[in-house]
Chains A and B, each alone.
Chain A
Amino acid sequence: MSDPLLAALLQSIDEGQPVALVTVIRAGGPAAGWLGRRWLVWPERPPQSDSSTDLPAALLAQARRCLQEQRSQVVAEKIDGGPVDVFVEVQARPPTLIIVGAGHVALPLAQLGKMIDFDVVVLDDRPQFANKQRFPMADRVLAQPFEETLRGWPINANTFIVLVTRGHTHDVACLLEVLDSPAAYIGMIGSKRRVNAVFELLQKERGIAPEKFSRVYSPIGLDIGAESPAEIAIAIIAEIINVYRGGRAVPLSAALRADRRLPLHPGRTG
């Protein structure tokens, strides 16, 4: 038998539903008896208590506000005339890393992606590469056509996309599928010269505005002089952390952006 609150919490996390665990962490005066009480709060359904005590309406509203902001925080309220501090712990969905292409760089990318607790998806149109034996650590391995799969994928601001297919034509075709998506990060492998030529070509032949490419991290990764597949994967993951956490490290793509006089696309965290 498991704790009903814990079981419900784990179920919501498993199903990817937004949920917050609300705990009274300080309580004084007439509210002293509330210390340690816990509830689960969802955006829509009624809260669940660990003690059959109803969550006061003001706290429920505060918790739902935190859920909306997706930020865990302490909120202060009054219960029964006494001051309480409540910790609202928002269970954020882990970000998704979509690795497009299942080759040499994809393997260490998938490993590192799991190490930093991302949901890892590997996509390649070659079943001999895109399979669970090769990627046992990945959450999903899809042996499917690139473009159709990306077109149908629910890309959101929590999605990080890495384009590392076996050939530049595939990378570019996939780039065009995701260029207007709300993804937090789009990185594409390729040398500076090559990438520049691709962007120029797309501008000319497809009439794509040059600013649109400013959000693309290509050449991909941070500038750490990476050479081997594992080193390149580390440079890419470091760049993803840099975007995710709003770090200040210099991406390789900065030089190309400077040449093309494009601003860095403001990422998720600035």
Chain B
Amino acid sequence: MDSAKSIYKTIERLTRETPVAVATIVSSKGSVPREVGTKMIIHPLGQHVGTVGGGCGEADVIKAGLNVLHSGQPQMVTVDLTEDVSMQSLGVCGGVMDVYVERWPKNE
């Protein structure tokens, strides 16, 4: 029940100052932490907003976001949470999600 309005308002506000990358969960299979449509803003200075579920998967999404900010080329990140539970990766939900990462340019 994330408010789409507030995330777009935030994108609008931030892009007055800087380009940002926006990650969106576009599809999922199995058990994943957040629903389709959930967004996270990756800020070039690290002031990220929102979450696509936290944990290792999110670190990959942030990394992709920083790449996308640099290249301008959209990227798809597949976050696989189906590994066995181990002490190294306790954040296991059991599903897979596709996260689309794109750049919203700065508005002059």
Please determine whether B104 and A3 come into contact, CB atoms closer than 8 angstroms: yes
Number of interface residues of B (CB under 8 A): 26
Chain B residues within an 8 Å CB radius of A6: 8, 11-12, 15, 104
Number of interface residues of A (CB under 8 A): 27
A26 within 8 A of B: yes
Please determine whether B8 and A13 come into contact, CB atoms closer than 8 angstroms: yes
Please determine whether B4 and A91 come into contact, CB atoms closer than 8 angstroms: yes
Name A115's closest neighbour in chain B (CB-CB): B1
With both chains docked as a complex, state the minimum distance between the C-beta of A185 and any C-beta of chain B, in angstroms: 14
With both chains docked as a complex, state the minimum distance between the C-beta of B21 and any C-beta of chain A, in angstroms: 12
Please determine whether B1 and A116 come into contact, CB atoms closer than 8 angstroms: yes
Interfacial residues of chain A within 1-53, with CB under 8 A of chain B in the complex:
1-3, 6-7, 9-10, 13-14, 23, 25-26, 35-36
How long is the Cα–Cα vector from A13 to B15 in the complex, in angstroms?
19
How long is the Cα–Cα vector from A35 to B74 in the complex, in angstroms?
7
Chain A residues within an 8 Å CB radius of B24: 87, 89
Interfacial residues of chain B within 51-108, with CB under 8 A of chain A in the complex:
73-74, 76, 98, 100, 102, 104-105, 107-108
With both chains docked as a complex, state the minimum distance between the C-beta of B97 and any C-beta of chain A, in angstroms: 12
A230 within 8 A of B: no
Chain B residues within an 8 Å CB radius of A3: 12, 15, 104-105, 107
Please determine whether B37 and A72 come into contact, CB atoms closer than 8 angstroms: yes
Please determine whether B5 and A10 come into contact, CB atoms closer than 8 angstroms: yes
How long is the Cα–Cα vector from A91 to B24 in the complex, in angstroms?
14
How long is the Cα–Cα vector from A9 to B39 in the complex, in angstroms?
15
How long is the Cα–Cα vector from A117 to B50 in the complex, in angstroms?
14
Please determine whether B3 and A25 come into contact, CB atoms closer than 8 angstroms: no
Chain A residues within an 8 Å CB radius of B15: 2-3, 6
Please determine whether B26 and A25 come into contact, CB atoms closer than 8 angstroms: yes
Please determine whether A9 and B16 come into contact, CB atoms closer than 8 angstroms: no
Chain B residues within an 8 Å CB radius of A90: 37
Name A19's closest neighbour in chain B (CB-CB): B4
Chain A 74-115: CB-based contact to B (< 8 A → 1; otherwise 0): 100000000000010111101000000000000000000000
B49 within 8 A of A: no
The contact of B2 among A25, A117, A244, by CB within 8 Å, is A117
Q: List 15 A-B contacts (CB under 8 A).
A: A1-B107, A2-B107, A3-B15, A6-B15, A23-B100, A25-B74, A26-B76, A36-B74, A36-B102, A73-B36, A89-B24, A89-B37, A94-B1, A117-B2, A244-B1
Q: Interface residues, chain B, CB within 8 Å of chain A?
A: 1-5, 8-9, 11-12, 15-16, 24, 26-27, 36-37, 73-74, 76, 98, 100, 102, 104-105, 107-108
Q: Interface residues, chain A, CB within 8 Å of chain B?
A: 1-3, 6-7, 9-10, 13-14, 23, 25-26, 35-36, 72-74, 87, 89-92, 94, 116-118, 244
